[in-house]
Chains A and B, each alone.
Chain A
Amino acid sequence: MRKGMIKATDAFERIIHWGLAISCIVLIISGLGMMYHSFSFLSIPVGGLKNLKYVHNFTGLIFIVALLFSILMWWKEAGIFKFPEDVEWIKAAGGYLWHVDNVPEVGKYNPGQKIFFLAVALFGVVMAVSGLIMWFPLSLPVVWVRTMYFLHALGFFVITPFFFVHLYLGTIGSPGSASAMFSGWVTRAWAKKQHPKWLKEMEESGKLEVYGE
């Protein structure tokens, strides 16, 4: 760790994040294998579609636990929009899409990240509820169960594209971000660029943890 690095996340946050992310990607891949006949080759490594279903269903349980912790842990920072700065940020698209001289300063999570969090939280719950019912589909009237399949597919439609955009923006789309979820420490320049308001607030309140200070 270099001197002057800033602490962005604690170990618990990172463990939950990776629990959610890894279970989500396993669910996406195994779900893909069940949803499209042309992707059924994805079941070969686990020895068949039936095993893929088991992989999917039990990974679903890990996902549910990670999702619960994620919501409890992040809803205050990432689940609530702040006015007017978040609206200003959205109007400027955070400087991501066109050139903006002064990107409006927002807190620890920008509105794009908040939208991602809310989509995952909402549709994650939808996936959990519909998935559990689909696991035991004979327990409810068929009209309900059919709707669960529809909702599960809808959640897939929403979560999967978001997942890839998140992957891009957390890595090469925003250099310096990934370390927030690996070591938990980020550079001051990164914090200044990505979350200037958070940096200022932390500094003013004296809560900022700087490595070596």
Chain B
Amino acid sequence: MTEKIKLCDLSKCYGCRACQVACKQWNQLPAKQTYNSGSYQNPPDLQPNNWVVIKYQEISDGNGGVKWLFRKDACMHCTDAACVKVCPSGALYYTKQGTVGIDNGKCIGCKECVAVCPFGVPKYDSKADKVSKCDMCLSRIENDMEPACVKACPTGALQFGDKAEMLKAAYKRVEVLGGDATVYGDKFVGGTHMVYILPEKVSVYDGLPEYPRVPLNVIAWKDWLKPLSLLAVGGAIAGSFLHYITHGPKTPDEDGNQVNAKGGE
């Protein structure tokens, strides 16, 4: 199976939210009462029942006016995913397609993934005591269909295809766009399976980390302390046994009244 990615060309996104709706529909995510948060953006962030949200941001256009920036926020499907690294139940896993799947039945609601994802993606549903997130429409891509969001996008901002091909197209597009345009996603966390074409600098986008990575304390916890702990426990048990059969236990002297008792023998 060749590795596939979703390419998200934000220069073509005009904020229609067709992807957001298509995602809810395909994944049968229930609607919830919304409220006005002072922005056209709705809901304010990813939610357990909203795996995709179009972020609406107003920035200065440099001529005294404002312009819209739209960003489709969803799971980036990291190749080196912090969430998979920490998930104790195996609910989060790498799929054959290279994306990060989630097996809801296995999730124990520990929220470890919530704390470690560099993009703040997994969201906890306190009613179900489970976490949920975009699974890149695994049931669709397993059957050679594109994800629902890609299918719905009317402007061609979303594409799904072979990684090498998509990246080539991305770099070509960035050249055409010129200016601050960049490709975002292929250079960190082992390469993401959702890759952006950003018309503006990374730092302009709210909530988009410039240097995302698996947090260092997570690496120290999972990659270092895990093997070291087993080694240390094994060492303590083996050491005790060796002590017992070589130096021997510290036995009280038969004659308890002897003052200058000998050390352990």
> Contacts A189-B253, A189-B254 given; 14 further ones with Cβ under 8 A?
A35-B88, A36-B230, A40-B90, A95-B264, A96-B250, A99-B263, A103-B263, A137-B111, A153-B229, A162-B236, A165-B236, A168-B240, A169-B240, A175-B252
Q: Hey, what's the 0/1 contact readout for A41-57 against B, CB within 8 Å counting as 1? A: 00000001110010000
Listed stretches B60-68, B190-198, B216-224; interface member? B216-224
Query: Given A53-B110, A102-B260, A192–B252 Cβ distance below 8 Å?
Result: yes
Residue count of chain A within 8 Å CB distance of chain B: 53
B80 at the interface (CB under 8 A from A): no
Main secondary structure on A side of the interface with B: helix
Q: B249 in the interface, Cβ–Cβ < 8 Å?
A: yes
B interface with A by C-beta (< 8 Å): 86, 88-90, 106, 108-112, 114-116, 120, 124, 215, 217-218, 220-221, 225-226, 228-230, 232-233, 235-237, 239-240, 243-244, 247, 249-257, 260-265
A213 interface hit (Cβ, 8 Å): no
Instruction: List residues of chain B with CB within 8 A of the CB of A103.
Output: 261, 263-264
Residues of A within 8 Å of B237, CB to CB, are 164
Given A150-B217, A153-B221, A168-B243: A138 and B111 within 8 A (CB)?
Answer: yes
List 26 A–B pairs whose Cβ atoms lie within 8 Å, in order of A's numbering. Answer: A34-B88, A37-B90, A50-B108, A95-B263, A99-B263, A99-B264, A99-B265, A100-B264, A137-B111, A142-B116, A145-B115, A146-B115, A146-B215, A146-B218, A149-B116, A153-B221, A161-B235, A164-B240, A168-B240, A173-B243, A173-B249, A174-B250, A175-B249, A190-B252, A193-B252, A193-B261
B90, B124, B217 pick with most chain A CB within 10 angstroms: B217
Are A49 and B226 interface neighbours, CB within 8 A?
A: no
Q: Which of B110, B217, B250 has the most chain A CB atoms inside 10 A of its CB? A: B250
Q: When A and B form their complex, which 5 residue pairs have the shortest distance between CB atoms, in order from nearest?
A: A95-B263, A189-B256, A100-B263, A161-B236, A168-B240
Task: Give Cα A58 to B209, complex, Å.
Answer: 37
Q: Closest CB-CB distance, A161 to chain B, in whole Å?
A: 4
Find chain A residues with CB under 8 A from B264 CB. Answer: 94-96, 99-100, 103
Residue of B nearest to A158 (CB): B232
Output the nearest chain B residue to A199 by Cβ-Cβ distance. Answer: B256
A154 on the B face (CB < 8 A)? yes
The minimal Cβ–Cβ distance linking B144 to chain A, given in whole angstroms, is 31
Q: Is A147 positioned at the interface, with any CB of B under 8 Å from its CB?
A: yes
Given A145-B115, A165-B240, A168-B244: A160 touches B232 (CB 8 Å cut-off): yes
CA distance A84 to B60 in the complex (A): 71
Q: Is the CB of A193 within 8 A of B253?
A: yes
Assess A149 versus B243: contact at CB under 8 Å? Given A34-B88, A160-B233: no
The verdict on A161 contacting B232 (CB below 8 Å), with A149-B217, A172-B244 known, is yes
User: How many cross-chain pairs have Cβ atoms below 8 Å apart between A and B?
Assistant: 146
What residue in chain A is nearest B257 (Cβ atoms)? A192
Within 8 A of B (CB), among A13-67: 34-37, 40, 48-50, 53
A142-B114, A164-B240 known; A95+B90 contact, CB < 8 A: no
| Beta-carbon contact of B247 and A96 below 8 Å | yes
Chain A hits for B229, CB < 8 A: 35, 153, 156-157, 160
Chain B residues, Cβ within 8 Å of A134: 112
A164–B114 alpha-carbon span in the complex (Å): 34
Contact A153 B244 (CB under 8 A): no
The answer to whether A146 and B116 touch (CB under 8 A), given A100-B263, A172-B249, is yes
Contact B240 A193 (CB under 8 A): no
Establish whether residues B249 and A149, one from each chain, have CB atoms under 8 Å apart when the complex forms: no
Q: Are B240 and A173 interface neighbours, CB within 8 A?
A: yes
- What is the bound-complex CA distance between A189 and B261, given in angstroms? 10
User: Looking across the interface, which residue of chain B has its beta carbon closest to that of A97?
Assistant: B247
Q: Measured between C-beta atoms, what is the minimum distance from A34 to chain B in Å?
A: 5
CB of A49 within 8 A of CB of B256, answer no
A188 touches B (CB below 8 Å)? yes
Give A149's nearest chain B residue, CB to CB. Answer: B221
B-contact 0/1 string along A166-196, CB 8 Å cutoff: 0011001111100000000001111011101
